[in-house]
Amino acid sequence: MSDFLEHAACQPHPASATGFNPDAVIPYGCSTERIHQAMQDFVEFLGFINQQLYTRGIARLETMLMPANFSSIVGEFISTALPKYCKTLVRNQYHNGHPDLVPANRYPDDAVQYTHEGIEIKASRYRQGWQGHNPEESWLMVFVFDSNRPADTTKGITPKPFRFVMVVGAALTKEDWTFSGRTETSRRTITASVNQSGYQKLVANWIYRDVG
């Protein structure tokens, strides 16, 4: 039974076309249809990788990588895939530039260190409390997903397929973030978290909700 569940978990759930909000406001010529296409690309990518890993007796990607690393892969993939379908946006070519996506033909070589124009992409297993390195004023799009973690195997948690749970997006200001410092003995990365005002803006303009 456990092997059957593990094999089944190798195929992620596709994002349902009926789960998208037709009233969502998305800037820069982006749309729910284009976001759906980028999400589906990731689902197909992860399914292909995990099924190949399964044939070799290797753990699924989401159970192999540290949770933060896997979330980063989800976000980076969407940032790369979305401009394929939304030609008015391009990937920011500046190393660690902000935001991830900027308007096409706006900046030389599509590279800018920092600008308010564009869309920052984040992916998270959490339904709120989303974090960034700095309080930023930009349009933020968050892809919330559900999947196993590496520690699940030691906790007896059943294998489950990856699925997108929610996508939300809104223009945030610095007041929508709460800066999180750290103590002198902490090694935690300094971050800023979306606070309640930012959360309310994001969920009010929900883009996708899982209906499965």
Mean pLDDT on 161-179: 95
Mean pLDDT on 156-183: 89
User: Residue 20 forms beta bridges with which residues?
Assistant: 208
| 175, burial (CB in 10 Å: exposed 0-12, middle 13-18, buried 19+) | exposed
pLDDT at 135: 74
Looking at the chain, the whole-number percentage of residues with pLDDT higher than 90 is 84
CA proximity to 126, closest of 176, 166, 174: 166
**209 — pLDDT class (breaks 50, 70, 90):** very high
pLDDT over threshold 80, residue 194: yes
In terms of CATH architecture, what is 2-12+24-209?
3-Layer(aba) Sandwich (3.40)
Put residue 52 in one of left, alpha, beta given phi > 0 → left and psi -120 to 50 → alpha: alpha
pLDDT at 154: 87
Question: One-letter amino acid identity for 107?
Answer: Y
> Measured between alpha carbons, how far is 163 from 19 in angstroms, rounded to an integer?
13
For the segment 121-169, what is each residue's pLDDT rounded down to a tens digit? Answer: 999 999 998 987 677 788 999 999 999 999 998 898 999 999 999 999 9
pLDDT over threshold 80, residue 184: no
**189 — pLDDT class (breaks 50, 70, 90):** low
Residue 166: φ, ψ to 5°: -165, 145
pLDDT at 137: 86
pLDDT over threshold 90, residue 99: yes
pLDDT over threshold 60, residue 10: yes
* DSSP code of residue 124: E
Domain ranges of the chain: 2-12+24-209
Mean pLDDT on 107-124: 96
Query: Which residue has 């070519």 as its token pair?
Result: 93
Distances (CA, A) of 75 to 71, 122, 141, 192: 6, 5, 10, 18
Q: CB-based contacts of 62: which residues, under 8 Å, 6+ apart?
A: 46, 70, 147, 148, 149, 162
| Mean pLDDT for all residues in the chain | 93
Q: In what order do the strands lie in the sheet with 177-180?
A: 131-132, 191-194, 177-180
> Measured between alpha carbons, how far is 105 from 118 in angstroms, rounded to an integer?
12
- 67-85 vs 32-55: helix crossing angle, rounded to 10: 130
Lowest average pLDDT, out of 111-115, 169-173, 181-185, goes to 181-185
Contact in structure between 175 and 209 (CB atoms under 8 Å) = no
